[in-house]
A and B are shown apart, each in its own frame.
Chain A
């Protein structure tokens, strides 16, 4: 409860910060929605031509893309610094968070709001509404699925970016990992063989961000829910453990910083 109050205060400050530039905020939100639509148009054209890929149709794509976009948006909005954690570590900018009486990781990742995340988050719900799978209980599952997908996504970002404690500057690698997660997350999971699927549940856990939550949204299943819960818990645990281990190696720095 104590940490939740603290998070609310940080998020409020983040919102105040992005609202300082209202025009930019609105442009980024609308721009990201347009961007998502243009990206998804290629799948609409594809499924117009082929109808189904190993049992996977355009409706499934709408749901999968919806969960993925909303989960991405959620992390961007509430834990925006998860995207540049490696930069913060390698440039010694953890000092600020370490000098405060709060959990370092939580404080760090929640201290930035990426405005365009609002566009992704909203677009995800629109995509789900257009999928043909919409129902009130489906919406509840969509929200839960998105929350769990966002947990895995944030955990994956933290895991990869925490490698900066050992390897130093690695923003190119983290971009690569981010793109892999998003690209594999949107592909129909039926096209992958078992080896590829193993990778999508472990090294690049894109299945937990797209296909599995989408399956849960389409129809309730205890097994899929447990898969999602266990996946989220395991990746979150690993992310926190690796970050804490890395923190002991943190070397700070003296690069002049001009803004928070």
Chain B
């Protein structure tokens, strides 16, 4: 049985339209005009039990709106969905016992209390046995390395520490499915890695399915086996992450720092030089056209290397490429019109 089945799901919001300035405000007061905004458009997909699925797209693409419909927070305008065989907006309370949710921008831990107090409260909310709650807290504390943080008031934790506690809290009642909406937003590299490792370990050990929305390609690579990319509320790409990488992550960015000055007229065949400084160069090349070995050999010949960074292009570039192929031009700005991370609907 699939963990999630979505068929032709649609969500339309009514948004008030107002001309600029005081005059516009007065006119809108007496004669309001509304726009219909389709945040999610005829979305259909499936997710198997225990699967790790990435759900990505730019601000306002409809990711958060979809997750909110799948948790029963929002009613859809049209369409059907089943999560663990429950219709979320009809069986919200029953479903909540079996899923865990983390909204990166909305803390669930009580701000003034130590995290352990919220975990105990969650134990009561999920009707768990007191002894089981204690056992589970110690398991999660070990998995997320939060033993020393549990008794500190949440307001005194760093964002990374808090997020580890947040994800741990969402797993307290042993959910079968974890819905993570931007869990790594605002975190530094180390904190992200901590969270990813812990989620990955728990998902494997307890066979928890994970549906993750993120802007970060690293989250996808570290956690997900399959990816769905959406834009304007529609799926524009759906495949395994390994296929996505093979197909689109063919460009590498390299930054090199030398012990001596970079030779004048520095260039390598088949490589785009982005920047040349006194002691460093930044370049980009396509691995299907120029072998990595040959680029590295040229770089070594140019001088003694003291530091080198090789990175994939940002996910945004990959998505932009996918949009181009799908002949869908991404609309950059009115992201705040929808429920994405970009801002509140107006």
Contact = CB atoms under 8 A, between A and B. Distances in A.
Contact of B105 (A2, A98, A257): A257
Contacts of A16: 113, 117
A198 B342 CA distance: 48
Given A6-B124, A9-B125, A259-B155, A254 B92 contact: no
B113 A17 contact: yes
Interface in B83-124: 92-94, 96-97, 101, 103, 105-113, 117-118, 121, 124
B113 A258 contact: no
Interface stretch (A36-44, A205-213, A220-228, A245-253): A245-253
A95 B103 contact: yes
B105 A101 contact: no
Interface string B57-78: 0000000110010011111000
Contacts of A10: 121
Contact of B68 (A12, A95, A259): A95
Contacts of A92: 344
A234 interface: no
How large, as a class, is the contact surface on chain A?
35 or more
A6 B126 CA distance: 9
Interface string B147-184: 00000010100000000000000000000000000000
Contacts of A5: 124
B106 A96 contact: yes
A23 interface: no
Q: Which of B94, B103, B153, B342 has the most CB of A within 10 A?
A: B103
A99 B110 contact: no
A257 B107 contact: yes
A254 B343 CA distance: 6
B125 A251 contact: no
B92 A98 contact: yes
A38 B75 CA distance: 49
A98 B125 contact: no
A255 B110 CA distance: 18
B93 A101 contact: yes
A100 B96 contact: yes
A260 B73 contact: no
B10 interface: no
Interface string A78-99: 0000000000000111111011
A96 B108 contact: yes
Given A99-B73, A251-B74, A255-B344, A9 B121 contact: yes
A141 B164 CA distance: 51
Contacts of B107: 257-260
Contacts, number: 94
B93 to A, nearest CB: 5
A252 B344 CA distance: 9
B285 to A, nearest CB: 38
B94 A101 contact: yes
Contact of B112 (A20, A95, A103, A258): A20
B106 A257 contact: yes
Contact of B124 (A9, A253, A257): A9
Contact of B73 (A2, A12, A95): A95
Classify the secondary structure of A's interface with B.
Answer: loop
A22 to B, nearest CB: 12
A241 interface: no
Interface in A1-31: 2, 5-6, 9-10, 12-13, 16-17, 20-21
A61 B342 CA distance: 54
Nearest to B96: A101
A256 interface: yes
A253 B113 CA distance: 25
B52 interface: no
B344 A253 contact: yes
B272 interface: no
Nearest to B100: A99
B153 A260 contact: no
A260 B111 contact: yes
Contact of B125 (A93, A102, A250): A102
B127 interface: yes
A91 B105 CA distance: 13
Given A2-B127, A254-B105, A20 B344 contact: no
A96 B117 CA distance: 17
B69 to A, nearest CB: 10
Contact of B110 (A100, A102, A248, A260): A260
B341 interface: yes
B340 A254 contact: yes
B279 interface: no
B156 to A, nearest CB: 11
B105 A256 contact: yes
A94 B124 CA distance: 20
Contacts of A17: 110, 112-113
B82 interface: no
Contacts of A13: 110, 113, 117-118, 121
B308 to A, nearest CB: 37
A40 to B, nearest CB: 32
Nearest to A5: B124
A98 B72 contact: yes
Closest 7 CB pairs of A and B: A259-B111, A9-B124, A101-B96, A98-B73, A99-B101, A17-B112, A20-B112
14 contacts: A9-B124, A92-B344, A95-B73, A98-B71, A98-B73, A248-B75, A252-B74, A252-B339, A254-B64, A254-B339, A254-B343, A254-B344, A260-B108, A260-B110
